[in-house]
Chains A and B, each alone.
Chain A
Amino acid sequence: MLSFLRSLTPSQQVGALFVSVFGLLAIISIAAFLLTFRTRSDARDESRHEELRNFRRLLGTSWFMVTVFWAAWAAGDLMGTLLFALIAFLALREFITLSPTRRADHRSLVLAFFVVLPVQFWLAATRHFDLFTVFIPVYVFLALPVASALGGDTQRFLERNAKLQWGIVVCIYGMSHVPALLLLDFSQRNFTGKGAFLVFFMVFVIQTCMVVQHLLTRRLRRPPSIPGVSSSFNWPCWAAGMAAGSLLGGALSFITPFTLGQAVGMAAIACAAGSLGHLVMKALKRDRGVPAWGPRAAVTGANGLLDRVDALCFGAPIFFHSVRWYFGA
């Protein structure tokens, strides 16, 4: 079986990977769907149905993400990068909507959306990874306050700039590392053309960590560890999620350029960044007094996108840089 898989070309291998993931998702979804037919007789059944509903919502997110990644991979490098640029654009739109800006911020916002975002993704697509790494934290961070200062409005100057820079870091910088990972080349390790495996590895371990954490939180009903930020987050469940994500990373080491131990370590780094990043975004939402990103009531499909991708936005840059730094790719 393994020798047959090795005999395939890299793109055939990636294709086989997607087929198996879609198959697995389909089986789980059908099982979850069939469970909804169970009759409810008492309160316990009722709560179990509620749990199932939550689980199916999470499954929906997984379908969404797998489909996006498949489309990105199937459409080729350029289209893939464009797709993630669009996601970053929509996520930043949600972020800015909920962080009220002042009139004088208009020029800075135009810069963020129509200059910073395209340039960052262009740097990713053309593999200028050195400039790609410092473009936002160095150049943009110094240029944007200049644009704001030229706007002439000093009221809450620091706060306004901080908001915008945060939005840029999370939505543009974080998201742009996903296509960059897709394009990362380990030629010395016989890993050319398999960047999709790295993206899959990262997304799959982060998503597993989040799902396990979520399911355990529902089941164990421990008191929240940080009630000010999240009504569900607690350390034991988080640790279990981390363990599950890391172990899965070890099990998947055969699709990565890592050895078993390295794969576990990399998965742990990605899971920690992703799950704690999700927590940070929850704190930001709490501060704005909303349960989810997007306008007060979610009506169109575009809303709540940031909720779905925030773990990725935090996980991707840290995973990307630890891979590059460690392997010198």
Chain B
Amino acid sequence: MLAKAMSLFLLGLVRLLTGAQARWYGCPPKAEQRIYFANHQSHADLVMIWAALPQELRSITRPIAARDYWTTSRLREWITTRVFNAIYIDRARTGEQDPLEPLVQALASGDSIILFPEGTRGHAEEPQPFKAGLYNLALRFPQVVLVPAWIDNVQRVMPKGEVVPVPILCSVTFGAPVALAPGEDRHAFLRRARDAVIALRNV
């Protein structure tokens, strides 16, 4: 109940601040199992892409949140677990545990996920090189559709180090799905996926 109210409040807030527009260019919003992968420049990215998805997709799509940031306060933890239904991931690799394990579980149980393959927030215009996670998931779940997305303008809403967001219109552009070709090399695939994200900037 409280989580529902919080999610409505956050949706309203994000729409008021950013417009939260979704632009579907390469594929329609459809309830199939998908991995959305996008550029990452701000903590607000997660909220932004979550708010841009239509209601019926939002409930079956789980964002990935970095455990070290999103569990530091009770409120953040509550929001990520109860409102976003997020999957935590450890950015600092500890021992032999596979960091992709929680994602594999979520995908195996039929959920869609939102992934930021750069691993961390970038500052530059173009996203940093993608990490291998996207390739490994694509290899293990060939039936899941990989949808690139470009999040525009969000870094202006809340630059690193600021706490008060400023209202600026942002949009999330979803592009045509990318598929892993049979026998495709990891680097070639990651470069292609990154290019697909960058290409959406000028759609």
* CB of A101 within 8 Å of the partner chain: yes
- What residues of chain B lie closer than 8 Å to A100, measured between beta carbons? 156
Within residues 114 to 135 of chain B, which ones have a CB less than 8 A from any CB in chain A? none
Whether A97 lies near B21 (C-beta < 8 A) is no
* CB of B177 within 8 Å of the partner chain: no
Whether A299 lies near B23 (C-beta < 8 A) is yes
- Scoring B19, B23, B162 by chain A CB atoms within 10 A of each residue's CB, the highest score goes to B19
Contact with B along A93-116 (1 / 0, CB 8 A): 110110011010010011001100
Within residues 171 to 190 of chain B, which ones have a CB less than 8 A from any CB in chain A? 171
- What residues of chain A lie closer than 8 Å to B162, measured between beta carbons? 106
Whether B169 lies near A110 (C-beta < 8 A) is no
Whether A294 lies near B166 (C-beta < 8 A) is no
* CB of A319 within 8 Å of the partner chain: no
- What residues of chain B lie closer than 8 Å to A300, measured between beta carbons? 19, 21
Closest to B155 in A: A103
* CB of A302 within 8 Å of the partner chain: yes
Interface size on B, residues (CB 8 A): 15
A168 to B19, CA, bound (A): 20
When the two chains form the complex, which single residue of B19, B159, B166 contacts A302, counting CB atoms closer than 8 Å? B19
Whether A97 lies near B23 (C-beta < 8 A) is no
- Scoring A89, A92, A294, A300 by chain B CB atoms within 10 A of each residue's CB, the highest score goes to A300
* CB of B152 within 8 Å of the partner chain: yes
A42 to B116, CA, bound (A): 54
Whether A89 lies near B21 (C-beta < 8 A) is no
* CB of A220 within 8 Å of the partner chain: no
Within residues 149 to 165 of chain B, which ones have a CB less than 8 A from any CB in chain A? 152-153, 156, 159, 162, 164
| Cβ of A326 to closest chain B Cβ, rounded Å | 37
A297 to B167, CA, bound (A): 18
* CB of A303 within 8 Å of the partner chain: yes
When the two chains form the complex, which single residue of B159, B164, B167 contacts A89, counting CB atoms closer than 8 Å? B167
- What residues of chain A lie closer than 8 Å to B153, measured between beta carbons? 97, 295
When the two chains form the complex, which single residue of B21, B156, B167 contacts A299, counting CB atoms closer than 8 Å? B21
- The majority secondary structure among interface residues of chain B is loop
- What residues of chain B lie closer than 8 Å to A294, measured between beta carbons? 169
A294 to B166, CA, bound (A): 16
Whether A106 lies near B171 (C-beta < 8 A) is no
Whether A295 lies near B164 (C-beta < 8 A) is no
A117 to B152, CA, bound (A): 26
A207 to B162, CA, bound (A): 42
If A106-B159, A302-B19 touch, whether A295 touches B152 (CB-CB below 8 Å) is: yes
- What residues of chain B lie closer than 8 Å to A89, measured between beta carbons? 167
Whether A93 lies near B21 (C-beta < 8 A) is no
* CB of B83 within 8 Å of the partner chain: no
| Cβ of A110 to closest chain B Cβ, rounded Å | 5
A297 to B171, CA, bound (A): 10
| Cβ of B27 to closest chain A Cβ, rounded Å | 16
A109 to B157, CA, bound (A): 10
- What residues of chain B lie closer than 8 Å to A93, measured between beta carbons? 19, 167-169
Closest to A301 in B: B19
Which of A's residues lie within 8 Å of B, judged by CB? 89, 92-94, 96-97, 100-101, 103, 106, 109-110, 113-114, 294-295, 297, 299-300, 302-303
8 sampled A-B residue pairs with Cβ under 8 A: A96-B168, A97-B153, A97-B169, A110-B166, A295-B153, A295-B171, A297-B23, A299-B22
